[in-house]
Structure 1
Amino acid sequence: MTHPFRSQFPFYNSANSSNVAQSTIYLDSAATSQKCKPALDAMNEYNLYYASNVHRGGYKIAQQATKKYEAARSTAQSFINAPNSKEIVFTSGATEAINIIAAGLRAEHLNGKEILICESEHHANLVPWQMLAKRFDLSLKVMPLAENGQFTDATLEMWLGMITINTAILACAHVSNVLGNIYPVAKLCAKASRMGAISVIDGTQAGAHIAIDVQKIACDFYVLSGHKMYAATGIGVLYGKYNALESLLPSKFGGEMIRSVRWDSSDFQAPPLKFEGGTPNIAGALSLAAAMNFIVENADAIHKHEQILYKELLAKITSVSAINVLGNVDESIPLMSIDINDIHAHDMASALAQQGIALRAGHHCAMPLMDALNVEGTLRISLACYNDISEINLFIDAIKNNIADYDSGTETLSKQQFIDNNALSIKASLQTQFSTATGWNEKHRLLLLQSKNLPLLAPENRVDSNFVGGCESSVWIDVYNNQLMAYSSSKVIRGLLAVLLSAINETLSLKDDNSETTNLVYSTEYQLAYLNSLGLPMYFSQGRRDGMLQIAKRITQLLSKI
């Protein structure tokens, strides 16, 4: 079918000089969306034709900039149906908006001693409340989800029951960034209001997909991020009921947010300028307004198109027996997280990345939720109006093929086979095999084979003292009987560990009792250079590179004690 929206996103323009878009299937819009043409045009127009500061200059382009900036505020007001444009504060994004609220609250604002948090919250809507709880000696309570991350009628009754006169703050996403669950925030806020609690709703994942009406929701605060709704990065919205904004203390001080300044004191502007100290992101605000207009003008068509895509994705993904879909599937934005039997999310994401498919793997800034789901991380597919059915089909084919590759990667080659291979050492044999492997697919298959050769650290020894932090997956390494042993939940990481440890353990086993191992051979730099000689790091994400650095440092630390 003819795609109704892709022409509005220059990323997909065939004249894109990098041609990256032509080979990329972008399924990571929940992290950052592509930018629509109206948003880009608005930024370019400002930067090219009337770049100047707002609210300060009396000359023509300054007046034009101010007029456009305040018009953008009115657009944001209309987009979420706020009663007054003075209730719209421009921020750098939802994270800053939530921090402004948490930092600005005083003890006298709080009627209870508990902060309620949804189990699926993003860290940005959790950590600020942890800090506030410590500041005012409050307890933080979690509103749990049902099995598999689902939100049910019973879940709603439980959550409503948890909102009591002891509740000081209710913090909840409108839509889960991990599960796609759409929560009944109006019902939650109504109960919070009756109990005298402050309600803070994170609308980050809602803005591009569903209508927002803060008057119907009746929340005290609502936050948005522009870069997740086709606008620029570094721009967002904090909505607050005017009396709530008035009572908040500002947390950013400087020009524009003051009414008068003396040597010993200052008076602040009324909201919203009270919270917009310094030069704002003017181009960003204009891009956000343009993106909001684009969404509103195409709302029905966007929703229809995205639901077609989502239903197609859901039907095909649930037909794969190895895949478990988490969260609600019937009431969701076009986003889903999946868990694949015996395949680490980062391993699958890395394999898909080599095939031009861009999506997110990991904890998605929701570590407590991953603990509750009993998974290290998930693979998240998030769609937007610029995706099409052909991309879903290509993704499904790729994930099926990769699952088949993992299932077939059960063969193994023994260490003796490596040694007997033309009398080569393990290290030399590995270097020969990996250097002759063409491209990631062949190297990836070799790593899967090598994962079987890893000297496994026993489960009882996978303890905190042997844990290697900073990796994309769990890793433990220790020394037993002068041999390095390790374990990882990721089969690819187990393969990398096997490659690294085989070469080092071989050297350890061949070392004369009276000889001294040089620092060079076991140094962090040597290990990383060895992996580089196998042609592997070029295929790693930055997170995986950082993880291998931490692994190498841990190995160096352990070897220094042998």
Structure 2
Amino acid sequence: MLDIKKIRADFPILKRKVHGKPLIYFDNGATSQTPTVVIDAIIDYYSNYNANIHRGVHTLSQEATDKYEEARIKIQKHFNAKHAYEIILTAGTTESVNIVASGFSSLLQEGDEVIVSALEHHSNIVPWQMMCEKAGAILRVIPMDEDGSLRIDLYDEMLSNKTKLVFCNHVSNALGTINPIETIIDKAHKFGAYVLIDGAQACPHIKPDVQALDVDFYVVSAHKMCGPTGVGILYGKQELLEKLPPYQGGGEMIDTVTFEKTTYAGLPHKFEAGTPNICGGIAFGVAVDYMNSIGFENIQKTEHELLNYATEKLLTIDGLKIYGTSTKTSVISFNIEGIHPYDIGSILDKLGIAVRTGHHCAQPIMDFYRIPGTVRASLSFYNTKEEIDIMIEAVQKAKMMLS
């Protein structure tokens, strides 16, 4: 088992108080907290070698370039991409999705079909709707079941030779459902369709192997993995990234420029126009190292135990319902009958407990359950059973005050 006391000491923010109470941070699905080693890497960059990359012969530029490209290699190895240049450093999952959607909007034809799942975050819905509008393609949706799982039997019926792209999250941000992405990818490939997997919610808990998955695109945000905000990756198979047009024009992504014609740089620079989030990329590499030093098997065991403990305790509260009961990661979305989730979340905040309330950028899921939103407690390996006990008491107190 993990030495939780030692791990918690790595996160300075866990020492603070909110409204006079010790902070209990259960909003890890929105963003994880940042360990000292990542914070130190950010300070080190701005203190010692802050410079633009790939463009200078001076020492600072070369040092920054080396650190940035070292981070790319760390990320490549973590996800087991075949080549480092298949890792495109982006502003996060949303930009990564939009790069692919923008590229395919010029490659699809009218009448082509695109499939998404009913469990998607808005950032894995809206870009595909925009893409379909531009291309005249048809968007189809894999329905969900009452337990929060996808209807794979109906997915089978949707697939055809018209299917060109399939998009699905690895883990639902709203419910924590772990989707059967291996099956989804394999079935799509049998019809010649490409697959993008949104791994933003999965990667804090699961270490995916993109080659073993045979996935075409996989997208991630650093801030879900103990890293900084404003940086993430788009993994894509080399042949597909070379097929897609650039997402935006500017410096870095060019080979030659004249007023008559511009030619583009090779991978990964083709999709990395402008000055990137250099510090963020470097810190992402450090965050990956940190999580691997803890070990994803250890993380999974710890979080699974916390999930089971919190679920059992919450279900002792009369009128409390948990949404999403299929196989999942450490996310619990719940409501108490007759009480708005926002009101519960507000009382918990006054008691120092950070949870998420609302539709979690997944309105179609809330519409399916006919609810305005949920209270979402999303747990991490640095949380404890003692914190869960305090949350249970707080939820009971909120129920008593609001009933």
The TM-score bracket by the shorter chain reads over 0.9
- Matching of residues 199-348 of structure 1 within 5 Å: 199-298=195-294, 299-329=296-326, 331-348=327-344
Contact kept? 1:12, 1:21, Cα under 8 Å: no
| 8 Å CA contact retained: 1:208, 1:229 | yes
Q: Give 3-state SS (helix, strand or coil) of 1:66's partner.
A: helix
CA distance 1:309–1:139, shift in 2 (3 Å): same
Residue-by-residue CA offset, 1:176-225 (whole Å, 9 max, x unaligned): 00010001111111111111112110000011101111112211111000
1:151-190 deviation line (CA, Å, top 9, x unaligned): 4xxx223223322222121010000000100011111111
Equivalent AA in structure 1 for residue 380 of structure 2: A
Give the whole-Å Cα distance in 2 for the aligned partners of 1:349 and 1:142: 31
Partner of 2:402: 406
**1:27-68, CA deviations, whole angstroms, 9 ceiling, x for partnerless residues?**
101111111222112111111111111111112221111111
Instruction: Tell me which residue corresponds to 2:62.
Output: 63
Letter in structure 1 aligned against 2:269? L
The match for 1:392 is 388
Q: Displacement of 1:148 after TM fit?
A: 4.2
Partner Cα separation in structure 1 for residue 4 and residue 38 of structure 2: 23
Give CA-to-partner distance per residue, 1:9-37, whole Å, 9 cap, x none: 12124xx6x77796221110111111122
* Structure 2 residue identity aligned to 1:324: K
Contact 2:159 2:188 in 1 (8 A): yes
Give the conservation status (yes or no) of the 8 Å contact 1:352–1:358: yes
Deviation at 1:135, TM superposition (A): 0.8
Q: Tell me how far 1:392 sits from its aligned partner.
A: 0.3
1:194 corresponds to:
190
Please give the TM-score of this superposition, normalised by the length of structure 2: 0.95
- Aligned equivalents of 1:41, 1:161: Cα separation in 2: 51
Give the % identical residues: 38
SS of the aligned residue for 1:12 comes to helix
- Which digits, 9 at most, give the CA deviation of each residue in 1:515-552, with x for residues without a partner? xxxxxxxxxxxxxxxxxxxxxxxxxxxxxxxxxxxxxx
Letter in 2 for 1:160: D
- Cα pair distance change 1:25/1:50, threshold 3 Å: same
**1:9 equivalent among 4, 8, 11:** 11
Q: Residue 357 of structure 2 is aligned with which of 356, 361, 364?
A: 361
> Is the Cα contact below 8 Å between 1:186 and 1:216 reproduced in 2?
no
CA distance in 1, matches of 2:131, 2:397: 48
Name the residue aligned to 1:382: 378
Aligned residues of 1:199 and 1:220 also touching (Cα < 8 A)? yes
CA distance in 2, matches of 1:160, 1:44: 50
* Aligned partner (choices 153, 157, 169) of residue 157 of structure 1: 153
Runs of at least 5 residues in structure 1 that lack an aligned partner in the other structure: 408-562
Equivalent residue letter for 1:263: F
| Counterpart residue identity of residue 316, structure 1 | K
Q: 1:377-425 CA distances to partner (integer Å, 9 max, x unpaired)?
A: 1111101122111110000011011112222xxxxxxxxxxxxxxxxxx
Give, in whole Å, the separation in 2 of the partners of 1:4 and 1:352.
26
Q: Distance in 2 between matches of 1:19 and 1:30?
A: 19
Q: Which amino acid aligns with 2:12?
A: P
Tell whether the 8 Å contact from 2:142 to 2:152 is kept in structure 1 after alignment: no
8 A contact 1:39–1:286 mirrored in 2: no
Matches within 5 A, 1:538-549: none
Distance 1:208 1:140 in 2: 29
Instruction: Give the 3 Å change call, closer, same or farther, for CA 22–8 of structure 1 in structure 2.
Output: farther
Number of equivalent positions: 400
Counterpart residue identity of residue 398, structure 2: N
Amino acid at match of 1:56: R
- Give the deviation of 1:150 after TM superposition: 3.4
How far off its partner does 1:328 sit? Answer: 2.7
Q: TM-score, normalised by structure 1?
A: 0.69
Secondary structure in 2 aligned to 1:386? coil
C-alpha distance in 2 between matches for 1:238 and 1:285? 13
Compared CA separation, residues 2 and 84, structure 1 to 2 (3 A): closer
Kindly tell me: are residues 367 and 106 of structure 1, through their superposed partners in 2, closer, same or farther at Cα, counting changes over 3 Å?
closer
| Structure 1 ranges of 4+ moved more than 4 A | 18-22, 109-112
Query: Secondary structure of 1:200's partner?
Result: strand
Of structures 1 and 2, the one scoring higher in RCO (CA 8 A, sep 6+) is 2
Q: CA deviation at 1:368?
A: 1.3
**Counterpart of 2:366?**
370
Q: What is the match of residue 131 of structure 1?
A: 130
Partner residue, 2:117: 118
Give the secondary-structure state (helix, strand or coil) at the position aligned to 1:147.
Answer: coil
